[in-house]
Structure 1
């Protein structure tokens, strides 16, 4: 939505297409926590301090220029949303509140009260899009292929989920804003359409992916007891706000046993907390459901209600009384640091193709700093929209003849197909959880690649069924085609990187190795994925992280 608004403001005619509901799918609508920006409303702050924390969290792999633009331009985007009445929480004196989130050196993260940050941001942008001339919204459109015209992206092909019709869109530029890859994993915190279809579209169009091995697991995703109608990652802001204690089966705090220095302030970075929790589980000191305990029992009831507000009542409806019981938490797939390799204008190596948001690689390195996701979506969206608008003015568009093969694929059907594709997707998720999760080994990654190859054989030659309304089996086929390609990209780069760094942890290579302070790239040649290397782009400001 940020890219669409920016493109329309620069005079382009924009189609905003979504395979679900415009502004109500993806990751932002699920985000219930905080947004990082160096506003300095609580304590003095500057974007250079935010950048230092971002570079530190990235474990030496951040593209410094991309990280800098997020931190430098973030406050402008937050103030713009404030002017659009997003509803940032404020102190009695009118200042925007800023929380001290893990990995930050000071209070820096804005939020909307009662876990409504993501929905509030999405609603605000959606309202602006609805009012903006020049933006045509198309929901329920599954894009299956990008169209190339004279070596550049000149449009896209897909089909209407609502009625099955094949659709061709001619465009002078295309922006991919499809989010991450969390659907590759059984336990995940995002919408069901985050299966990496944008990554697959980019690969097949000739773009390069980067840092695909770095999947961030949110360390304290809700595990037990059963929680209905609430976000599994809701606990983080309350942990660092109220001092929620992470305990093992012996009811002992353990984070500092793994080289952390958490004392009073609950600010251990996500990759380190994930490592500590799963290490305790593997050592036989996990909670009954296979995670760790998170306890607020030491917090007075009045303080809990003041911080949680109506959430307390929702928890009670789920049978959870935080004054008398801990809950169980465990790492859950949450974010992807990898994605499309872009330049400063968010352009891929294929002319006419741009990217924005979580699908952009480089800004977060090996581990994303808490609160940076929505900030980068806003910043990169504005840049990508403006770059795409500039490109579209003079670009040639694709034609039906260019799109012929893609149209055939989007409209093809295989009525004889009988494979339970939703079952294959579930098996893929199990493969990724078991062997390409937070802890990895060469043997496990090789096993995962072999199993993915077998699942690819189950895909068949074409989608099942016929072109009709809301054919979920047909949608599953296209989803699985993309998920298999992207899952292989993650597994291959994870096998190649022989070290542990940030969100990538190898049991057989437990140390961080300086020769691996490089990016890994992925390209598609024919049907084969090829892994390459690229230098990390640093700048003098990178010294801030030392």
Structure 2
């Protein structure tokens, strides 16, 4: 067993985690420990993001972060925390400018300013990019470079899964983790801990994020006593790739094509249909994601879906010269997959993409549990019921920067010395030996439950069925991981640890969705189809006596 000490512990090394570690070091934290279950800066959602980043960085007089905030609040359907939304938009713009100084390579327009496009839900061109398929990798690469430049004050450790936080007198003083490479437990003592583990899209089989987005940060915080907020709001990306087979390309790559070139959404009868569900079709992609998801799903339910069960996305009306001018080499990569956009309509369908909910924080990213902070998609509240397109990386950078600075401040104030006795329950779990079981099949079962009854459209009966099935699965999981401890790269035990967290988070989503008896943003109750003014308030989820319980924000 190993033990590590840090002033600031950052759990998760996507954009939020890396920026938090950089800022903590810049603000004087001499020992910053950056942990991730993947290679540092190579896992999570940021490195997979292919599109644009929303920020009011246009020429003076053309935009302002307050305009960006107005669009963010409108997309959030009345549930955004205005203070957090303001930070996202104001600090986010500052971070985009800092990333430019760090040579990320934002695309430029003819006048030398930022090239910006108008994404769905924005009132003007506001979204910057490196190129339409490499923005996320460029952001990740730039942050990895900055980690190197900060130097020895940041220690980076990959292939580590944090299973529990350590509490001493109601304060988080570190964590218990599993070293995947050795199979041995690891304890960490820290004056301040930042959860930056991203969202929960792995709860659904069809998702756009990496396989490590299991919602484990939410579970860690909830078990430590931090409430979660807006857990019912899971955003489904409406035009995830469905067919034909696409190799080596991201399933959500079609959005920039759609809003830059005006691709047409068609049903199985090759008819445009968005106007049937409350939105007119236009030359640009202007319909928000929740409405597009609803329209596609309803067309499929009406028997007008494409052969694979989605809708068609067609660019046949766009000249090849314009396709190549906009996306150049990507057209050749598609051709290698047998797709000719001048001739072939591809099939798309909704895919789990982002989670608006998460850990409830204040404007310093504090969770209410001393010593515990959160950043990035792990934070809930800023996006309300529906995230505005382009806000994800902006949020990661802004909240990472704020959390890092606050963690450094807390570390400078001192903290109780780590007490190994407080870590004993977490270590006992990792050292336990349970009965063998097919944990991979159990993960797949959980995903089927969520897809069937906790997807974009819910009902009381479906949510009740999901709750009952999750309870059965939880009983089958038991209280000890299968097999012998201490085995390197033991995927059986790793899946068990993931399932322990996933089941808790899934229960939080189901209970919050059951409690919200209306339809708003990404939460659509078919038995309560209207948006109710009485529900213009958020639900928080606590874990009193081990029971997941939603309540109104007070």
TM-score by length of structure 1 reads 0.96
Correspondences of 1:33-52 after superposition (within 5 Å): 33-41=51-59, 44-52=62-70
CA RMSD of aligned residues (A): 1.1
Structure 1 counterpart of 2:5: none
In structure 1, C-alpha distance between the alignment counterparts of 2:275 and 2:113, rounded to whole Å: 35
In structure 2, C-alpha distance between the alignment counterparts of 1:261 and 1:324, rounded to whole Å: 25
Structure 2 counterpart of 1:445: 463
In structure 2, C-alpha distance between the alignment counterparts of 1:323 and 1:107, rounded to whole Å: 27
In structure 2, C-alpha distance between the alignment counterparts of 1:200 and 1:100, rounded to whole Å: 36
2:521 is the counterpart of 1:525: no
**The one of 177, 182, 190 aligned to 1:163:** 182
Cα distance, 1:314–1:508 mapped onto 2, change above 3 Å: same
Q: Is the 8 A contact 1:42 1:107 kept in 2?
A: no
Q: Helix, strand or coil: the match of 1:509?
A: coil
Cα distance, 1:258–1:397 mapped onto 2, change above 3 Å: farther
Q: Is the 8 A contact 2:272 2:281 kept in 1?
A: no
Unpaired runs of 5+ residues, structure 2, are 1-17
Aligned-residue offset at 1:43: 7.8
Structure 2 counterpart of 1:364: 383
In structure 2, C-alpha distance between the alignment counterparts of 1:339 and 1:446, rounded to whole Å: 22
Structure 2 counterpart of 1:380: 399
Correspondences of 1:171-190 after superposition (within 5 Å): 171-190=190-209
Structure 1 counterpart of 2:425: 405
Cα distance, 1:41–1:115 mapped onto 2, change above 3 Å: farther
Aligned-residue offset at 1:186: 1.0
Structure 2 counterpart of 1:218: 237
**The one of 72, 91, 105 aligned to 2:123:** 105
Structure 1 counterpart of 2:327: 308
Q: Is the 8 A contact 2:52 2:132 kept in 1?
A: no
Structure 1 counterpart of 2:358: 339
Correspondences of 1:484-523 after superposition (within 5 Å): 484-523=503-542
Aligned-residue offset at 1:91: 1.9
Q: Helix, strand or coil: the match of 1:71?
A: helix
Cα distance, 1:515–1:114 mapped onto 2, change above 3 Å: closer
Q: Helix, strand or coil: the match of 2:517?
A: coil
Correspondences of 1:75-474 after superposition (within 5 Å): 75-133=93-151, 134-393=153-412, 394-414=414-434, 417-466=435-484, 467-474=486-493
In structure 2, C-alpha distance between the alignment counterparts of 1:301 and 1:388, rounded to whole Å: 52
Q: Helix, strand or coil: the match of 2:551?
A: strand
In structure 2, C-alpha distance between the alignment counterparts of 1:471 and 1:305, rounded to whole Å: 46
Aligned-residue offset at 1:41: 4.0
In structure 2, C-alpha distance between the alignment counterparts of 1:438 and 1:471, rounded to whole Å: 34
In structure 2, C-alpha distance between the alignment counterparts of 1:30 and 1:113, rounded to whole Å: 13
In structure 2, C-alpha distance between the alignment counterparts of 1:460 and 1:209, rounded to whole Å: 25
Deviations, residues 481-510 of structure 1 (Å, cap 9, x unaligned): 000000010011101100000000011000
Q: Helix, strand or coil: the match of 1:171?
A: strand
Q: Helix, strand or coil: the match of 1:40?
A: coil
Structure 1 counterpart of 2:26: 9
Deviations, residues 71-96 of structure 1 (Å, cap 9, x unaligned): 11222111111111111111233221
In structure 1, C-alpha distance between the alignment counterparts of 2:417 and 2:332, rounded to whole Å: 54
Q: Is the 8 A contact 1:523 1:531 kept in 2?
A: yes
Q: Is the 8 A contact 1:57 1:368 kept in 2?
A: yes
In structure 2, C-alpha distance between the alignment counterparts of 1:170 and 1:229, rounded to whole Å: 40
Q: Is the 8 A contact 1:157 1:406 kept in 2?
A: yes
Unpaired runs of 5+ residues, structure 1, are 536-546
Q: Helix, strand or coil: the match of 1:68?
A: helix
Q: Is the 8 A contact 1:54 1:67 kept in 2?
A: yes
In structure 2, C-alpha distance between the alignment counterparts of 1:390 and 1:397, rounded to whole Å: 17
Q: Is the 8 A contact 1:419 1:458 kept in 2?
A: no
In structure 2, C-alpha distance between the alignment counterparts of 1:10 and 1:74, rounded to whole Å: 18
Q: Is the 8 A contact 1:147 1:154 kept in 2?
A: yes
Aligned-residue offset at 1:411: 2.3
Structure 2 counterpart of 1:481: 500
In structure 1, C-alpha distance between the alignment counterparts of 2:62 and 2:212, rounded to whole Å: 40
Structure 2 counterpart of 1:32: 50
Q: Tell me which stretches of 4 or more aligned residues in structure 1 moved more than 3 Å.
A: none
Q: Is the 8 A contact 1:148 1:398 kept in 2?
A: no
In structure 2, C-alpha distance between the alignment counterparts of 1:43 and 1:26, rounded to whole Å: 36
In structure 2, C-alpha distance between the alignment counterparts of 1:340 and 1:114, rounded to whole Å: 30
In structure 2, C-alpha distance between the alignment counterparts of 1:514 and 1:219, rounded to whole Å: 26
Q: Helix, strand or coil: the match of 2:206?
A: coil
Aligned-residue offset at 1:395: 1.8
Q: May I ask how many residue pairs the two structures share in their alignment?
A: 533
Aligned-residue offset at 1:216: 0.1
Q: Helix, strand or coil: the match of 1:401?
A: helix
In structure 1, C-alpha distance between the alignment counterparts of 2:157 and 2:209, rounded to whole Å: 22
Deviations, residues 209-254 of structure 1 (Å, cap 9, x unaligned): 0100000000000000011110000000110000000001121111
Deviations, residues 412-432 of structure 1 (Å, cap 9, x unaligned): 222xx2310000000000000
In structure 2, C-alpha distance between the alignment counterparts of 1:11 and 1:90, rounded to whole Å: 35
In structure 2, C-alpha distance between the alignment counterparts of 1:444 and 1:397, rounded to whole Å: 48
In structure 1, C-alpha distance between the alignment counterparts of 2:177 and 2:156, rounded to whole Å: 15
TM-score by length of structure 2 reads 0.95
Structure 1 counterpart of 2:15: none
In structure 1, C-alpha distance between the alignment counterparts of 2:237 and 2:515, rounded to whole Å: 24
In structure 1, C-alpha distance between the alignment counterparts of 2:314 and 2:549, rounded to whole Å: 46
Cα distance, 1:297–1:41 mapped onto 2, change above 3 Å: farther
